[in-house]
């Protein structure tokens, strides 16, 4: 039986690396699949890992119809046994429903990868629909860590080095610095302060204590501010 499976975790938990491994494993067994991604850190039509691995992918846009895409390919004689869908949080709920229909009506396995919540700790619409429809949800076992060493559970956005909790859900950000590797790729932001991302534990997200702020205040994990 085909399945809709959602693999989820915070930034830096190895989702894209697992997506690449899943594609390799299925292809090695003679299965034919398609790789989809949206707003990958390496650019358009690419699925890349922070470990440096990258493969071509089909870029998902607002107009992508997964059902029509698979029908078109099968009509032209191509096999489509499975789909690897990275950055699912950026898909629309309707696109996630198309993926579920492919599983149920065409027997196509769909493996989705993405984060669940944005920098405001609110569910992304695509991830919310995946959680509602998936046959199985797998939380990645590789734990990203907050600057304090605790398990990171929240994605934070910084603007000009200051953590923010308001703004557009999808904004391009620096994904290279240790305090700015995040899920904010999307529409180009207006010119202004630099946007970055990092992962934090719940406590430090609640009190807006980023790694940069902690360093500036010469804090250690035992010296925890209670907000301002």
What are the tens digits of pLDDT across the range 188-212? Answer: 344 467 888 899 999 999 999 999 8
What are the tens digits of pLDDT across the range 26-38? Answer: 999 999 999 999 9
pLDDT at 167: 79
Q: Which domain CATH number covers 83?
A: 3.40.50.300
Domain termination site, one of 115, 139, 163? 139
Domain termination site, one of 114, 139, 164? 139
Q: Which domain holds residue 118?
A: 4-139
Q: Are residues 89 and 189 in the same domain?
A: no
Domain termination site, one of 139, 164, 186? 139
**Where do we find the tokens 């696109």?**
95
pLDDT at 27: 96
Determine which one of 44, 59, 69, 87 is catalytic.
87
87 is catalytic: yes
Using an 8 Å Cβ cutoff, are 158 and 164 in contact? yes
pLDDT at 53 over 70: yes
Q: Are residues 125 and 170 in the same domain?
A: no
Average pLDDT, the chain: 86
Residue 100 token pair: 């579920």
Q: Are residues 73 and 32 in the same domain?
A: yes
Q: Are residues 38 and 98 in the same domain?
A: yes
The percent of residues in the chain predicted with pLDDT above 70, rounded, is 86
**Where do we find the tokens 């196509």?**
108
More confident residue, 52 or 136: 136
Per-residue pLDDT band for 13 (boundaries 50, 70, 90) equals confident
Domains of the chain: total: 2
């Amino acid at each position: 039986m085909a399945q809709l499976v959602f693999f989820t975790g915070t930034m830096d938990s190895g989702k894209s690396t697992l997506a690449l491994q899943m594609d390799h494993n299925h292809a090695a067994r003679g299965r034919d699949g398609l790789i989809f991604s949206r707003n990958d850190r390496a650019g358009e039509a690419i699925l890349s890992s922070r470990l440096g691995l990258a493969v071509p992918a089909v870029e998902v846009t607002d107009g992508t119809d997964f059902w029509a895409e698979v029908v078109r390919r099968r009509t032209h004689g191509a096999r489509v046994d499975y789909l690897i869908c990275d950055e699912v949080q950026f898909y629309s709920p309707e696109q996630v429903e198309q993926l579920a229909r492919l599983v149920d009506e065409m027997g196509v396995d769909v493996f989705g990868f993405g984060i669940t919540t944005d920098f405001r700790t609110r569910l992304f619409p695509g991830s919310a629909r995946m959680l509602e429809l998936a046959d199985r949800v797998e939380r990645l076992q590789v734990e990203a860590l907050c600057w304090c060493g605790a398990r990171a559970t929240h994605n934070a956005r910084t603007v000009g080095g200051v953590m923010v909790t308001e703004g557009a859900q999808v904004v391009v950000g620096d994904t290279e610095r240790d305090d700015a590797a995040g899920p904010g790729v999307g529409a180009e932001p207006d010119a202004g302060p630099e946007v970055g991302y990092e992962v934090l534990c719940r406590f430090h997200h609640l009190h807006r204590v980023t790694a940069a702020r902690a360093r500036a205040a010469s804090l250690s994990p035992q010296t925890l501010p209670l907000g301002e």
